[in-house]
Structure 1
């Protein structure tokens, strides 16, 4: 009995002590961890130059060491860029940034982003390996503005700091959407003296030009025509009779692509008997919203008109909804042609497009920025003598073939245009580099655009890039592309804003 009592008293007390010590140790560890978490800032870095902004899971910033910004489809090309940059020596390069919404969740934008990076990387590789050892070498970095370009300020501030050593940022390309955010980003970059080369921005008001405020974006150049030029080219191509045409347009304002496109189409439809048919897209036009219901009603009203041609001023999601609705119209016996801007290039990869609509006496054509068949000879379709060349396009094909382990799709034109924008940036950087210097002064690159014309033009894969004094391409070749019944993007012919190809010297005329 005594042994049992002694056992209970002794071992119970020891167990209590051990338990207390262990509990205190665990508690101390937890308190220490809590204090450390409270006093140590959260590590939100993704890669050098890239981090997650407060309240966001997106990796935002600038990187050229191979980071893919958490987007698996970009891994291969991002690593290729990183390898190319790793082979450059300190002091021998200038940097070009590709500014894009790399983490967009829109399927069409993700394809566009991938193809633009592939095109830019292909031209970077040529600049460093196949240009007779011209200097400086070119370092390419990827700059993410986030979904909907929501984080453009963070990225632009980072780019401004990169103009100093060791980065020596001398130009920004990409700049691919005609949105308010991109307009503000362009204004901030050019305001800081950084040269900008837009790839697929087409809005007329994200450009310089004659008149008041003509130099709103000093140092901005573009390789794509404006929406106004696209509308002129479509008009020259289609020879549309205004009495048998109408306009379907988005009423949402602040979208510079849509706003300037509907203005350009309105100017082309003077004398049309019908008022425009209106719809309002969501604040984020990549969302489906309720516009499909509106288009179903608009198709009834179109059937009530004598129209044969419909000009569409809106983004690609709404364009696809409209095509689907018009394909199911009540007046199925009547034929219609839809004409629109370069947003039509997204439709080739849009699996929500009802291809049956394209077989219902409905023709869809758009003014593309580039197309792989535009400079290929074909029976009955000779290549224009001026404005571009087969040789320049074949050089592009050689370069793009080494940019990816798998063939890069070219029908949407994105890789071609990004390649040309990079070529234009490289041209300006090297032209601005004084003899005996390794790289140019920042301010000197942004002043090169008025000289990119005549014999100093860029022989682009999409056509000649001859810039006017405001940095806009003069009479740029515009491929007219048709959506075939199987959904493929079929080249029809090249159209020209001036109604004809440029002269041999490609010198823009004096404007009033």
Structure 2
């Protein structure tokens, strides 16, 4: 056998495997390292399993268990993951950063900021813009009145599903340094909103509703009707909306019918259909019924029902249809009625303020509005309501050109782009903030920096007469129960191009209030 080549450095044959012989000391060290690694990884795993997951989004905001939404309260510029809110949240955060500890009271805007419904997202943006517009006025253009106002955004989540956690956080903010003194927003007449209002007012916090219109989320005379002590609203009730519509339209009940949602628990729909039914006493036709999904922003199968209802409407002598339902179903009904068989007959649909969503609804069939179909709704506010126009003079009472012009100047600060005003949401939110600030400052004793919590909720009975709020949407004169008296109701028509055309102002009492604007005694 020939000799194997050897390594010239070591003299060992090449190709042979080297054997490393470890000393006992080396073996011990290797074992200790292995054990340490295993224990370290195990400890890391145990820590991962036992340490609570960090679900925070920002100070005061976190993702609830099982949800990806950021829910809670923030005034530091946090936008809750909603790109559309980034600019306005930043403006609020910047304004709040200028305030010094001890010189401000806090007002929260409570809304479903992370709603996935496109109509609600638009509404939320406009309401926050309107609220900020008045916060800026209160802090910079009110003759240095005190206290200054800190504004925070409070998110209740999609469908207000997480209202409880957010409301609990607000209740915990009534002491220093926040000194929460009022909550605005609370903008939908739903069960969750009703429970939110009950919890907040039960904790002694003043609440100013922007677009809640349900009659049963309100206070009134008689035993058991002061369920929400400290609640005020700047929008008329559904009953007042229905009265204003009836006064405007002078509808012949013999040629009218009601289409209504049978889903109960929706306070907007429940009270609207009751108000419409009261206006249609003596009508020859029973209501046409549909049932919306549990979440009325879902499409569901109601479009099929409306296709059938349009056939039945064609069988009647009706000319006017009162619609008691939410905006998704309203859009479906309009689309169906636009494709009706009796297209040669004209129809007018009258509905509540949910009609304001239709201007931005991309699923609305604009062609339906050209098929001899007129859609009119009782709006909460409209940018043309207090603008003089040829043949349409502005009423001498009930509102003013000057108050609306002030709002226009203020809201221009809320966005680099012009703020959309046609749906009225920014206008109403501005007025709600104005009402909240009015109560806070009226309740502040001479020489004090801010009011006591209990003193703010007692202010509503005095918001009337010369102490009324000169709102951009009209005068806000509250009765003893916090409800606006004879508030201006703009009647708005949905034009074929999707624009929301102002028709005229209507009044629950059939005429504007007197100069005194003092609600009459009611039983």
- Does residue 324 (structure 1) correspond to residue 343 (structure 2)? The answer is no
Kindly state the Cα deviation for residue 212 of structure 1 after the two structures are TM-superposed: 2.6
- Does residue 347 (structure 1) correspond to residue 343 (structure 2)? The answer is no
Residue correspondence of structure 1 range 294-443 to structure 2 within 5 A = 294-443=305-454
Kindly state the Cα deviation for residue 461 of structure 1 after the two structures are TM-superposed: 0.1
255-264 vs 24-33, which moves further: 24-33
Distance in 2, matches of 1:250 and 1:18, equals: 78
Query: Which residue number corresponds to residue 142 of structure 2?
Result: 131
Query: Which residue number corresponds to residue 486 of structure 1?
Result: 497
TM-score, normalized by length of structure 2?
0.95
Query: Which residue number corresponds to residue 19 of structure 2?
Result: 9
When residues 25 and 511 of structure 1 are mapped into structure 2, their CA distance, relative to the original with a 3 A threshold, is same
- Does residue 177 (structure 1) correspond to residue 191 (structure 2)? The answer is no
Kindly state the Cα deviation for residue 6 of structure 1 after the two structures are TM-superposed: 6.6
SS in 1 for 2:41: helix
Residue correspondence of structure 1 range 214-225 to structure 2 within 5 A = 214-225=225-236
SS in 1 for 2:306: helix
Match of 1:89 among 100, 106, 119: 100
Q: Of the two, which has the highest radius of gyration?
A: 2
| Unpaired segments ≥5 residues, structure 2 | 5-11
Kindly state the Cα deviation for residue 10 of structure 1 after the two structures are TM-superposed: 2.1
Query: Which residue number corresponds to residue 175 of structure 2?
Result: 164
Distance in 1, matches of 2:385 and 2:23, equals: 91
Match of 2:200 among 181, 185, 189: 189
Distance in 1, matches of 2:386 and 2:347, equals: 29
Distance in 1, matches of 2:231 and 2:305, equals: 38
When residues 214 and 11 of structure 1 are mapped into structure 2, their CA distance, relative to the original with a 3 A threshold, is same
Match of 2:223 among 203, 212, 229: 212
When residues 13 and 410 of structure 1 are mapped into structure 2, their CA distance, relative to the original with a 3 A threshold, is farther
- The CA deviation string for residues 247-279 of structure 1, in whole angstroms up to 9 with x for no partner, is 000000000000000000000000000000000
Kindly state the Cα deviation for residue 33 of structure 1 after the two structures are TM-superposed: 2.1
When residues 107 and 26 of structure 1 are mapped into structure 2, their CA distance, relative to the original with a 3 A threshold, is farther
23-32 vs 208-217, which moves further: 23-32
Query: Which residue number corresponds to residue 471 of structure 1?
Result: 482
When residues 406 and 26 of structure 1 are mapped into structure 2, their CA distance, relative to the original with a 3 A threshold, is farther
- Does residue 250 (structure 1) correspond to residue 242 (structure 2)? The answer is no
Kindly state the Cα deviation for residue 28 of structure 1 after the two structures are TM-superposed: 4.4
Kindly state the Cα deviation for residue 145 of structure 1 after the two structures are TM-superposed: 0.5
Query: Which residue number corresponds to residue 279 of structure 1?
Result: 290
Distance in 2, matches of 1:193 and 1:437, equals: 20
When residues 154 and 303 of structure 1 are mapped into structure 2, their CA distance, relative to the original with a 3 A threshold, is same
Distance in 1, matches of 2:210 and 2:349, equals: 25
Distance in 2, matches of 1:79 and 1:26, equals: 47
Distance in 2, matches of 1:454 and 1:412, equals: 28
Distance in 2, matches of 1:400 and 1:17, equals: 76
Kindly state the Cα deviation for residue 373 of structure 1 after the two structures are TM-superposed: 0.2
Query: Which residue number corresponds to residue 450 of structure 1?
Result: 461
Distance in 2, matches of 1:297 and 1:67, equals: 47
Residue correspondence of structure 1 range 27-66 to structure 2 within 5 A = 27-66=38-77
SS in 2 for 1:41: coil
Distance in 1, matches of 2:379 and 2:501, equals: 11
13-22 vs 30-39, which moves further: 13-22
Query: Which residue number corresponds to residue 275 of structure 2?
Result: 264
313-322 vs 29-38, which moves further: 29-38
Distance in 2, matches of 1:370 and 1:468, equals: 20
Query: Which residue number corresponds to residue 101 of structure 1?
Result: 112
Kindly state the Cα deviation for residue 17 of structure 1 after the two structures are TM-superposed: 11
Distance in 2, matches of 1:20 and 1:76, equals: 59
SS in 2 for 1:9: coil
- Does residue 121 (structure 1) correspond to residue 140 (structure 2)? The answer is no
Kindly state the Cα deviation for residue 40 of structure 1 after the two structures are TM-superposed: 1.8
TM-score, normalized by length of structure 1?
0.97
SS in 2 for 1:217: coil
- Does residue 110 (structure 1) correspond to residue 121 (structure 2)? The answer is yes
| Unpaired segments ≥5 residues, structure 1 | none
SS in 2 for 1:407: coil
